[in-house]
Structure 1
Amino acid sequence: MLDSKNLYVFSSRRAIGDFYLEFDGDFAPRVMGAQEFFESCIVIEDKKRAPKFVMKFLLLQTLYEYKNTHKLVLFDKSFLAYLEGMEFLENFFTELDLSRKKIEDISILDTYEDYEEHLKILKDIYENFQEKLKNYQLYRNFYSQNYEIYTDIFANIERIDFFLDGVLSLTEQEILTKIARDKKLILHFECDAYNKKFFNFLEISTLKEDVSYQIDLQNKEILEESENKEYKIVEAFSFASRIQQVAFAIHQAGEWLKEGRENVALITPSEDFVKYLQVFDIYRNFNYAVGMDIKKTAYYKEFVTQDMSENLVSFQEKIQELAKKHLQFQEEIKLFNQEFFSGLSQIQETIDIFSMEDIREFYLKELEGLKISDNRGGKIPVYGMLETRGMHFDSVVIVDFNEEKIFNFSDSDMFLNTKIRKEIGMPTLEDRQNLQKHYYYQLIKNSKEVKISFVEDAKLQMSYFLQNIGHVQYKNFDRTLFDFNAISPYQEDEFIGQIPADFIFSASSLRDFFICKRRFYFKYCKKLANKSDNFLLYSSFHKILEEVYKAYKGRINPVLMKKEFEEKIRGLPFRDRVEAFSAEVFLKNMRGFWDREKEHFNNCEFFQAEYEFKTEIFGKKFTGKIDRIDKIGEKYLIIDYKFGKNIKLQAVSEEMSDFQLVIYALALENEGKAVQSCRIYAMQNNQVLIEEDLMQKVEILEKRLKELDGVICFDKCKKNTECQFCDFAILCNRS
């Protein structure tokens, strides 16, 4: 229940706007944004927060003083290059402060000295930059400062409800925990597979995925929890270019307006999509909440043609005259100019090393980052991803749903490798990806209807983590920017259902599901699989090899076994001379296999071939047959034979589909047999591939098995290359 003595804190201003809409003119309780909340309730003794432009100019000055050492950021001696280097340093230093780490911490862990020279330069720059701030009694942010909590701000507040959509830094966790000692503070958040790790600081081991929580932060008590997992149909549209996505977005906006729909939005991961949309939005249906590009204004276009003034005073006067001349957007540009020149005036004595041309370049680069509010737009808002945190929609379209757009990280994110980041306690690239996934996951869950579009070509791929969010229906859109009267696209039949609870999986059936749900549906649910007409050699290989190994169990002799194996193969009833010739080529290629077996059995013993198992893995039933198992001491070695020419172990990824060796290993472990290793014998090219990432793949398997639950839309695979040898290609119109 809302109370006037409560304080409500939200992660974004858009979420605050949504909250206020509930009152419709009634008295609303006190509300703050998260950033405002933290900056209002802490005090840094004898210091004040550095204004944005002061802070940037001091960092730029520090970097400029290092003009003879460029090995870190690899730029030339132009002033613009220093500006670009400053962006890297800003992000990197902020990341250090958020993690409350020092560059010395990295140096200790850098055992291979990969970053030694870079870190030394960074340390010098950071220390000199901090010294400059100290001289002006300024600080960058409160994360790395000695702070006190200003409790008077909460004098008339009985309870604080903090709605978190994202993560808290270590300092923010600490501040909330301290406030909770004296004031009732309730933390509201949605827990899912992508952000669960971020709540370890609560020390609550019972947190579950897809559950909304209200936590009393004082005693770490769960006040309320409600399950909110809802599988929904997400419509996905692939396009060859971003321009084609614009046609789709404009069409969808028109449909919304015709239907009188409200609470709808277009979501874009990167703001550069807006420039395409604005060109073709001739009816002004969109309202660009992300802001208008300053480069489109007459003010900017005239500024870049201006000659440079001789000093800062005359430069400022020219800027003021220019702003008065261009009345449109005057207030926002005026505010920007006031902040810029006010900042420079505070550090007047420190900027003498810069020429007026340098200052002009600095002004221009900062100006280009200014977004102008667009109040002339239509009814359909266009939001950046972060702006949607905490919001709920009736219908959304998400464009640019490609890995490269969703996970577009800065150079500072890539600077330190994952190993060092893990050991020092800084966010890894995977952590950042999971945070982005969390935002999208919550947006999709909090929207009643979701459509996505993405570019699909050789370089760009749709973000496959969507498979864990909802049931994806791939659809066609055949209209262009110049034709909105085209025939409606043909709609295929949908195959929707549930996998029976007693269904028994195999490694191959699971792989079919992950690669093509439609193939799985036809093959296993409808049992339409054709009888295979395999080459006789391959269909007999396992049986003959099993016979040979069992005959020599306890007295392994690869020389005699090879001879017997070859005799049995040559005795097969081949259909023609081509098959017989192919068998001879195969036997020749297998000579390396038998030579390797001689060395292999020096420290191994044969255990069993064609080993059958039935087991349960993460709640799912599995059956299978392992080609061969050997023993090394008390541990077991799993061997799988493959006949292809380009056999590879599938790389670790959240979208991987082949878990054969993982399933075999877990099956043996369930029987109490400790597995020493798993490997593939590639028979055609005499290779041995050893599975090095078994534990990581076990974790991915556990996550992916959740896709088998609930109602499933058995869609066709996206990659037509999978259809080339598929028995059901004709049923999918892909033959």
Structure 2
Amino acid sequence: EQLIKAEVLAVEERLAQIPLLLEAVQKMVNSGISADDIVVILPDESFKETVQLYDKLNNFNFAMGSDYNKTKAYKQLESIYKHWQVFSDESQFLLKKYEIKVEEVNKINLTDKQNVEQFFVILEALNLAKKRPEVLENMTQFKQVFSTDLMTIKSWMFLWLKKLSQLTLDDVRGGKVTVMGALETRGVSFKGVVVLDFNDGIVPSIPAKDNFLNSSLRTFAKLPTKNDRAALQKQLYKRILEQAETSTIIYSKSNNKAPASYLYELGLGIGKDKVANMELLYNEPSMIVEIEDPIMKHFDATAITWSATRLKTFLTCKRKYYYNYVLNLKAKEEEELNEGLFLHKLLEHLFKEKTFFESKEEMKSNIHRLLDQLLETNNPKIAYSKLLWKAKFEKFIDAQIYHFKAGWRVAAKEEQIIGSIGGINFKGVVDRIDQDTTGTFVFDYKSGSITEANRTKNLEKLTDFQMSIYSELLKDKFKDLKLAFIEIFDGKTTEITALEEKTELLYEIVGELKSMREVVAERCEDVSKCQYCDYTLLCGRGVYL
């Protein structure tokens, strides 16, 4: 019996096996073994994706190939089938993600029965990813098998996806070190062998289907038992390790895993613990190019029409202002419903129909009706939000009925205003203007906190001058002007505090803006503001912290 020359290594985490694998292969090559004579054995073949991820130099040749169901072409077909199942917002988003025209997919008739040729003609019209030769071969076989059948396109897609899910693609990257599953090693020999995942439950690997029948039934039916399969695999490992000049066996201890008991049968024992050099995986030079703070030259604040949002961005973070307003880099539109924008739209519609309400029941009924009209969807998340909003609007309705009984009436909603403050042009959209016989109220709806907008301390840190801008632009138009926030879900109406001081500060800022000729677009000092910013990646903030 030949002696097995193998080093057994244990690591704490499964991923830590990969640096040891790379070191073991390098060591074998340095000892004079050709890369073509080295094999990496994966008892759990699903681990190939992780190994492939870190094979940056394409040194490995994966004999088991790669799964076609991981390719973009397969994902495109899968996303179309999922969309036909549910027709949801999420499924539409998935189609867009895979560059599929939603309108074209929705045009397809799902009830008519087609033959197999018609099915592939319809798929061709969608201009999906280019087909590989292996797919074309499978398509020919598929057409032959189902040449006389008629089915709906959903049924055809189901069968075609099942066929493609079993397809593997050859590894053609040209790596010299072979990567194999345990069963693929029969009949071959290598001078250098590295085995990963040598843990109980993985070595030997028994398919789940073998648990369906017990060993006595399998013996009676003359089928291989679990013991037969285990013995076969053990023999394969023993043979390839005996024929190798040098071997390395690696296992992980993560999640309380134990080394394979077969190690003792091979006379190797549990080996020694090894700390992996993780720099082999992650020691990549940063791809982020450090740039100096951009400079906005020839800055002229008087040539710009400012809004409260634009001014707030400028005062909060010059870099964000630069990306948004100078480079015009707009954030990706959110697929999720924006609560604040929707509630503003709802209240605009509410007061278009009536300028005031006399009864709580009438106002409540109108709000519920508008919620159902403006959000016609079967999405469970939206349905839940509607129920939540209906309950939360109770306090708002009570407060507004009290307000209208005092004689106030809605005079304008979503009113666009424009004017000059200190020589700089400003514009805005006022949520609501109410009037009675004595004066005017300007309201700003808030679905969140008003703490920052209505701060009374540390005014030098104030960045939200919305109410001061409204006050200055409307003071000549209305007498006895008052400004307040309406907290939609609490129903509270809170008048703006320290308006004079805030307006004075606004004029100081306007003066500074007018004197600026160039602005350095530096990043804000308060890193907490970066958490929800759309430009964190451009800045090297957020996930990099």
With structure 2 as the length reference, what TM-score do the two structures score?
0.42
Q: Give 1 or 2 for the bigger CA radius of gyration.
A: 2
